[in-house]
Structure 1
Amino acid sequence: MPESVGQFEQIILTAILSLRDEAYGVTIHEKAAELAEPKKISPGAVYVTLDRLEDKGLISSRLSDPTPERGGRSKRYYRLEALGEQALEESAATARRVWEAVEEIWGGIAGGVRRRPKWNPSRPK
C-alpha cells in the first residue's frame, strides 16, 4: 500500500505526471504554481518536496548531460515511480469521493453558480 500524500505533494506529483519528459525543477515549479492558483508557492518548497517524495520512493531523478546554455551544468529530471502513481491515484479517488459528497449536499452547480445552503447546524434544545 503506497504512503498517503498531502495536498502539496499531490500538486507536485501531478506536475511531474503532466510534464512527462520535461519534468525538472523550473518546469515543475511553473506547473505546480499553475495548479495551486491562487496560492503562491516558492521554488524552495518545491525542491524540499521533491527531495521528500524521492526519499519516500514515489519519484526518482536523474541528471542530464551538462548543457552549454546552463553554463555546463546538468538538469535534474524527475519521474513518477509505480508507488507515486498509486499514491496519486488514491488521492484522486479520495478527492473525487469528497467532491461527490459535497455536490450531493450542495445540490450541484446550476448555471455556473454553486448553490450552497447557509450553514445551519442543529442545536441541542
Structure 2
Amino acid sequence: MVITIDTHEKLGQGELRGDVWLQTLVRETPGALILIFGRDKLRWVEIDNRWEDVLDQHLLGELSDEDADRFLAQVPIPEEDIRARLVGAAEGLPHYLDLAVTLYEDRPDVRAPAP
C-alpha cells in the first residue's frame, strides 16, 4: 500500500503537534509506504526521538532555469522574454510555474503579450 500526502505544512497550520493524526496513521500502518510532501522537513523527532529511525527525509532541489524554460517552451509559450520573466518569478517552484502558465493562457490580449 502506498499513501501520498501532499502539502504537509498545511495540515497542522505550522503547529508542531498539528498532525498527530498523521503520526498515528504512520504508526498504525506498518508495511505501508507513506510519501509525505511539503516545503519543510518533518519535525516529529523534536516530539519523540524514536521517529529518527522511521523517517527517511529527502529535500528536493529547485527546478533548474533550463528545465523551467524547456517546460514553458513546450506549453507553448514562444516569446523568450516572457518565458524568462516567468522562470525568474517562479524561483524554481514548479507550482508557481504552473500557475504562471494558467495566467498566461487566460490573458485577455492573446495577440501581443508583453512581459
Same fold (TM over 0.5): no
Q: As a proportion of its length, which structure holds more strand?
A: 1
* TM-score calculated relative to the size of structure 2: 0.31
Which structure has more RCO (C-alpha within 8 Å, separation ≥ 6)?
Answer: 1
Q: As a proportion of its length, which structure holds more helix?
A: 1
* TM-score calculated relative to the size of structure 1: 0.29
